[in-house]
Structure 1
Amino acid sequence: MPRDICADIVFGRKSSNPVMYRLTCEERHEWKHDSDLIVEILDEHPPRRLGGDKWADDQGVGDINRGQLYHAVMTYYPVPGLEPPDPVDVAVKWVRGKRAIVSLRREAEMYEGPLIPLQGQVVPIFGGLFTTTTRDGFDIGCLILEWCPGNDHTTFGKPTEDELRLRENAVRQLHAVGVHHGQLFERDEGLCLSDGRHFLRAADGTLRIVDFQRAFMHRCVDKDTDLDSTNETDDDSADLERICDELLRAIEHYHRALEGELRTTPWNTF
């Protein structure tokens, strides 16, 4: 049996009193080394929040992850006879509380299950789920994921035709493996600035869909159905009726852009 892999998560690495938590791996996909990890948090200022109020000592959470998202650098402890991989930028999705960890496990199961073929192409590369209970009795956990530097959607205006094309393609691939995200679009009509928080850009500029704590398995239209044809048939109309709202919304946004209607599409800046 392989030994347990641990991750040492280091906060305040440049301070005089850095803090380290050792978490044990529950789920992992592929590793270059059978070695423990060092994950140094880079954020020197309060990181982006994932939702919810400020933490309390007895933080209670609902059915979604509540915590914080950190930018970090991951390295490996040395292994005799093996050359260590280069350091890699990662995202650390950090939560606190038993129910938050249950939600994190559900997300990890998505990455380790139906999303495996989409990792590094449509969804982030999954680095593992790690958990522990502190000496003070607090349950903490984190997901380690591919870092997507293009993750401040508030710096962008209305999405372009190319952006909507990439979103449509990504949502198609997501639904082709039977996954319904559940949080991709805020409104039935029009585009929202907040939609962009789940469509991020990886380091190479390609698109990633993120945050699968509310995702679930389902089946809508067959993955090979061609809905891009400009000559709609009766069969195409039937297929459109069988597409779920999430996939239909992605298709409609892109097709409106193709038809020159992007400028008149409602745009909500919240």
Structure 2
Amino acid sequence: MLLAANSRGYHMELSDGSSGWVILVNDSQKPIEAFHFKGKCGNAGTATVHDALDSPYESISHRPTDEAMQESVILPGVRFFSDQNLSPQPSGCTWAGDIDGVIYADGSYEGNENVVHALQARRDGILSAARFWVEATEGEAAGKFTPAVLAGEAQRLSDEDRKKMSNPGCREQPITCAYWNGREQVDINMVGQMNADRQRGDTPYSHIAQFARKWREKAEADSALKALEISFPLPPELAPQVLPAPQLPN
């Protein structure tokens, strides 16, 4: 459900007035789960996405000004610092930009419908990748692959995700690009999780499986994702994307 333009439930601030950290302020009575920012200053351009599904955990972001943890879901009245910092440019230009798409926890949304469609496709990619990793680490697959093999497979998939994002490119196929960006978000975090466990000497196979399962459960339980699947379904070539299970090295 698209909210009326005159009832916009959020606004954007910059931490230093005309530059600095991009801040979303939730002026509505509903939690915000995801948003997209796009900005331009002369020849410089940038964009960022925040999504509560970017991690299996509830607190996923450090506020850059003081490193305090921020909840992944932006509650009413909260000022949320994104990870986007708009630095003053040598040309002296003024940054122009806005948060052009927002998804609320109840499945309503605001902003550019094409932007929201891409946000939803990215969330579908997150769910698809989380499901893949649960299948790769549980059931018949449990214990079949070492953490080192799984880390190598996760890195390979992450590299493939980025290739699919760049060919044919996000400008030409933004929905496809967003989907693979969502999958890459999970795959690269699986690499980090496995490598961190190995460096600590903490390599129980069940820990990796639990990480994937927690992520899948969080995405599958997300009401907004379910609601927007109807409004913004994936293109047929992406629904579903079934990947082969990890293979043991020769």
Q: TM-score by structure 2 length? A: 0.29
Higher helix fraction (1 or 2) = 2
What TM-score, normalized by structure 1, do the two folds share? Answer: 0.27
